[in-house]
């Protein structure tokens, strides 16, 4: 980024030094995200805020100058804020290489080596100032993550040392690459077919990590050479179809020190094989509780429900893998660092609830729970009995807080009593040492095609939501040409029949809002008042569960229906590279929220909670970019997620998304989304999509694709 665009407070410049400040200016890219408003930094003025604490690396947060002024914030030891998720950019290209011995030839042979230039951080930076220069966390721990520093004298990693692995899609044409390294993983999408073919032929590829060279479609080789001269380029070989290696741990000269400073009960890893076996052990001790548990004593409450404690899931690995560096003793724990590297947050404070861990999921199993990372890998499984109250609150909230670490107060030491005070002290000590990770994680069963559930403030009576039954219910509804509903006369005391009638066409009988099972062709309508507001919820139920006009009950979360397609297909209906990818979402099939207006009329305000995310009514113009909303493509799954603090986290997923739509999402860098209650997206055809995007009852926005 141009240094003239950066607004840096004098105290920040003094703290970093001129050379490190210049280094950071080269690393922060206009294509990164502002952590405050979650929109692209672009070429506007950017301020730099530095968070520092005695025992933590520096956290540098670039933001729009209009969102946050530049400042230096000093925190107590161990209480620096966790770094938010960062964007990473990549370019796949062919690197021309002259083989050894050919350099002096008048007509040297040139090999084309498939290579990937990866910029791991283009906005938020985490690292330290070393000898006056900025050093990112992945540079400081290069050996641990399988990288080698490259120099003009040694511009390539050792040819026979392969520390990373690459998985390349098997389908022909454009595809994806998944890179696996020790403690790191990256997903690269929409890679050109000829480059994938080169990788398949070579059987491996060269990885180049550099924070100061933009991963643009055309790489500036002079910048890359200058970065190599300055020592800021790191490399590794990635073998196709192989497995990543682990860095040797502990280092030979640190083994004695590790024995001396290891926490009580920790087992020292004596070899790489020992380390790999421990990392492969996903069995943990699990406990479900609430934030007000005497053993936790956390003041975390559900947003908009200040008296309702958050459901908490504690996951405690049975072994601790401590990583000792220098004379400072054990500083990090391997599993905790791995989950933090994939989007969880270090538990640094007990005062405020941890942030959302994007695309992490916790779900019930036949014997307990399991935790999966954004790449779908199972990180932990634990046997635990889940009480009904906890399950109900988790299902109603949609999120649970996961605390992960080897010493968080789940297990009891043998041979002595261990009460709530002991468990609380253990958790606080683990937090101070940095041995605990935490995050708000989606609580859900795996989503199926066209279905997910809207996180709601209403509670779920029995926690039931089976995605197989949801899919079956909507498939049945797609085949039903008509259905009957029953409205009790007593409901007229709340809404007159002629005022209620127009809104009934916006209710879709997918699942009963009492028991959660499929409704079929008959449904009973009920109306519940929203406490403290001039609003009501109109919902559908089985006659056997809740006949129309009967007293209120706790409601299940409504089913969400969604579909995806493209607008502007090419001639003859053939797909075109100019197609605009779009998605239509009905986030509340079986119930509506109606507001009583001053004039006596009723208005559908079901979608109002999304207006502060910049979803607006169509106006004939290209939709504005949504705030706190992102799209992610994982395999054939499209996921759209909102993460605003002002409303509950919402996540909608579509499995089996058409391949052309996925390509266009990647090509366009996002997708146009229409929210509606007037249609059931699962029943929409291609010709219906433009109508939805012009319906004044819809709310539309452009949602950016996230790659981190």
Task: Give 177-208 as a DSSP string.
Answer: EEEEETTEEEEEEEE-HHHHHHHHHHSEEEEE
Q: Would you give the DSSP letter of residue 142?
A: T
Instruction: Give the C-alpha distances (Å, rounded to integers) separating 473 from 238, 414, 520, 557.
Output: 45, 51, 7, 15
Token pair for residue 342? 């994939």
CB distance 698 to 618 below 8 Å? yes
β-pair type (670-675, 699-705):
antiparallel
**231 three-state secondary structure:** coil
Classify the C-alpha dihedral 178-179-185-191 as positive or negative. negative
Q: What is the DSSP letter of 556?
A: P
Start-to-end Cα distance in the chain: 20
| Backbone φ/ψ region at 227: left (φ over 0), alpha (ψ -120 to 50), beta | alpha
pLDDT score of 50: 93
Tokens of 149: 């520093």
Q: Residue 583: its pLDDT value, please?
A: 94
Q: What is the pLDDT of residue 670?
A: 93
Cβ atoms < 10 Å from Cβ of 364: 17
* Pairwise CA distance, residues 547 & 524, whole Å: 6
Inter-CA distances, 435 with 162, 346, 577, Å:
30, 8, 48
Joined tokens for residue 243: 């497995």
pLDDT confidence of residue 326: 40
Residue 314: closest CA among 346, 287, 341: 287
Indicate the length of the chain as a whole number.
Answer: 708
| Burial call 610-635: b when 16+ CB within 10 Å, e when fewer | beebbbbebeeeebebbbbbbbbbbb
Pinpoint the alpha helices (H) of 191-254.
193-202, 221-229
How far, in Å, are 1, 105, 110 from residue 100 at the CA level?
37, 11, 10
Q: In the numeric block, which tokens belong to residue 614?
A: 């910049």
Phi-psi region of 231 (alpha: psi -120 to 50; beta: other; left: phi over 0): left
Does residue 64 contact residue 38 with C-beta atoms inside 8 Å? no
What span, in angstroms and rounded, lies between the C-alpha atoms of 598 and 688?
34
Beta strand ranges found along 398-534 (DSSP E): 399-404, 437-443, 451-453, 484-487, 522-529
User: Phi and psi at residue 445, in whole multiples of 5°?
Assistant: -75, 160
Q: Which of the residues in the chain have pLDDT under 70?
A: 1, 3-4, 55, 78, 85, 100-103, 170, 183, 242-277, 322-331, 375-376, 444-482, 520, 569-574, 644-649, 708
Alpha-helix runs per DSSP H in 287-346:
334-341
How far apart are the C-alpha atoms of 377 and 380, rounded to whole Å? 9
How far CA 74 is from CA of 59, 63, 82, 127, 326, in Å, comes to 11, 18, 14, 15, 25
Residue 39's pLDDT is 77
């Amino acid at each position: 980024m141009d240094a003239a665009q950066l607004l840096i407070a004098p105290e920040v410049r003094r703290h970093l030094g001129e050379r490190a400040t210049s280094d950071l200016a080269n690393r922060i890219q206009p294509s990164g995200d502002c952590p405050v408003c979650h929109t692209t930094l672009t070429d506007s003025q950017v301020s730099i805020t530095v968070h520092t604490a005695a025992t933590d690396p520096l956290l540098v947060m670039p933001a729009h100058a209009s969102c946050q002024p530049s400042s230096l914030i000093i925190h107590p030891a161990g209480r620096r804020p966790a770094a938010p998720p960062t964007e990473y950019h990549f370019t796949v290209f062919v690197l021309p290489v002259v083989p050894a011995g050919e350099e002096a030839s008048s007509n040297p042979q040139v090999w084309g080596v498939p290579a990937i230039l990866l910029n791991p951080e283009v906005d938020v930076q985490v690292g330290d100032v070393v000898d006056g220069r900025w050093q990112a966390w992945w540079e400081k721990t290069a050996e641990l993550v399988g990288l080698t520093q490259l120099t003009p004298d040694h511009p390539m990693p050792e040819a026979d040392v392969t520390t990373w692995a690459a998985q390349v899609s098997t389908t022909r044409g454009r595809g994806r690459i998944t890179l696996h390294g020790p403690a790191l993983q990256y997903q690269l999408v929409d890679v050109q077919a000829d480059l994938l073919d080169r990788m398949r032929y070579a059987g491996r590829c060269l990885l180049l990590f550099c924070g100061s060279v933009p991963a643009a479609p055309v790489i500036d080789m002079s910048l890359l050479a200058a970065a190599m001269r300055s020592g800021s380029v790191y490399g590794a070989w990635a073998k196709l179809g192989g497995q990543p290696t682990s860095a040797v741990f502990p280092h030979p000269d640190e083994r004695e020190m590790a024995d001396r400073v290891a926490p009580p009960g920790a087992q020292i890893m004596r070899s790489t094989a020992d380390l790999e076996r421990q990392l492969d052990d996903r069995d943990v001790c699990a406990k479900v509780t609430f934030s007000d548990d005497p053993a936790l004593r956390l003041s975390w409450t559900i947003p908009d429900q200040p008296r309702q404690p958050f459901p908490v899931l504690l996951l405690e690995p049975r072994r601790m893998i401590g990583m000792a560096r220098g004379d400072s003793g054990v500083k990090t724990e391997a599993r905790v660092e791995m989950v933090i590297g994939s989007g969880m947050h270090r538990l640094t404070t007990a005062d405020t609830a941890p942030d959302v861990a994007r695309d992490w999921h916790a779900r019930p199993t036949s014997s307990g729970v399991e935790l999966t990372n954004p790449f779908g890998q199972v990180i932990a499984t634990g046997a635990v009995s889940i009480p009904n109250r906890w399950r109900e609150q988790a299902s109603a909230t949609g999120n649970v807080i996961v605390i992960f670490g080897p010493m968080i107060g789940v297990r009891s030491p043998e041979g002595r009593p261990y009460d709530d005070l002991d468990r609380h002290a253990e958790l606080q000590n683990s937090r101070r040492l940095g041995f605990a990770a935490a995050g708000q994680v989606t609580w859900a069963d795996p989503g199926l095609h066209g279905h997910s559930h809207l996180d709601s403030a209403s509670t779920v009576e029995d926690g039931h939501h089976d995605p197989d039954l949801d899919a079956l219910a909507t498939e049945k509804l797609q085949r039903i040409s008509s259905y009957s509903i029953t409205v009790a006369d007593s409901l007229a005391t709340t809404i007159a029949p002629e005022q209620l009638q127009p809104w009934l066409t916006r209710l879709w009988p997918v699942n009963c809002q009492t028991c959660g099972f499929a409704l079929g062709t008959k449904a009973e309508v009920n109306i519940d008042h929203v406490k403290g507001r001039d609003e009501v919820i109109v919902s559908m139920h089985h006659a056997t569960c809740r006949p129309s006009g009967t007293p209120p009950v706790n409601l299940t979360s409504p089913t969400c229906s969604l579909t995806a397609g493209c607008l502007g297909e090419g001639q003859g209906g053939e797909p075109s590279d100019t197609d605009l990818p779009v998605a239509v979402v009905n986030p509340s099939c079986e119930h509506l929220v109606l507001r009583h207006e001053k004039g006596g009329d009723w208005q559908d305000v079901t979608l109002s909670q999304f207006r502060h995310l910049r979803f607006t009514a169509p106006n004939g113009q290209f939709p504005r970019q949504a705030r706190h909303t992102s799209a992610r493509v994982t395999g054939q799954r499209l996921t759209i997620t909102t993460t605003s603090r002002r409303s509950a986290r919402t996540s909608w997923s579509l499995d089996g998304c058409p391949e052309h739509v996925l390509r266009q999402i990647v090509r366009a860098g996002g997708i146009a989304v229409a929210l509606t209650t007037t249609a059931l997206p699962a029943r929409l055809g291609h010709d219906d999509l433009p109508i939805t995007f012009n319906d004044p009852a819809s709310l539309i926005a452009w949602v950016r694709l996230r790659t981190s």
